[in-house]
Amino acid sequence: MSIKFPSDEWIRQWETLLNASESYAQAAANWEGDLVITIFPDDNYAQTTHIYINLQHGKASEARFLKSLDEKKAQFTTTAPYGTWRKVLEGRIDVIQAMFSNKVKLVGSMAAIQRTPKATYELVKIAGTIDTDWGS
């Protein structure tokens, strides 16, 4: 059964899959940083949504919606319209290239991401394995 994106269930599933993934654990073994993903409205999504996840040494925790960006300050914040996030999660856009081209805007150290690109790719790849209901 498909899980609506974004939703509490989708976020919990992503955290569960990350914590069960040996490939993510290995790729992110040296990663320390939390992340806010902001989804902006577009033609297929009507609101601004913030997702928080804490990523430490190959493990994920505290994954949840934020009511506002003031609720939790993260080391990394990524922002893009809903349709761009869909393309990233479906593998139609390379997430790191999207950051370089500003399709996905990054606040935080791009150098840190470049030092462990496999962690970023695994994070997205695992999210992409979720049977997602895009609502369209």
pLDDT of residue 1: 86
Distances (CA, A) of 17 to 20, 28, 63: 5, 14, 12
Average pLDDT score over the chain: 96
CATH of domain 3-129: 3.30.1050.10
Give residue-wise pLDDT tens across range 46-84: 999 999 999 999 999 999 999 999 999 999 999 999 999
pLDDT of residue 125: 97
Residue 85, both tokens? 């996030």
pLDDT of residue 73: 92
CA–CA separation, 99 and 29 (whole Å): 22
Distances (CA, A) of 5 to 71, 115, 117: 21, 29, 24
pLDDT of residue 135: 86
Which of 115, 91, 86, 88 shows the shortest CA–CA distance to 99?
Answer: 88
Q: Where are the domains of the chain?
A: 3-129
Per-residue pLDDT band for 136 (boundaries 50, 70, 90) equals low
Q: Tell the residue number behind the tokens 């925790």, with chain if given.
A: 61
Which residues, in sequence order, are bridge partners of residue 49?
39
pLDDT of residue 61: 97
Average pLDDT, integer, range 29-41: 96
Average pLDDT, integer, range 14-35: 97
Q: What is the DSSP letter of 42?
A: B
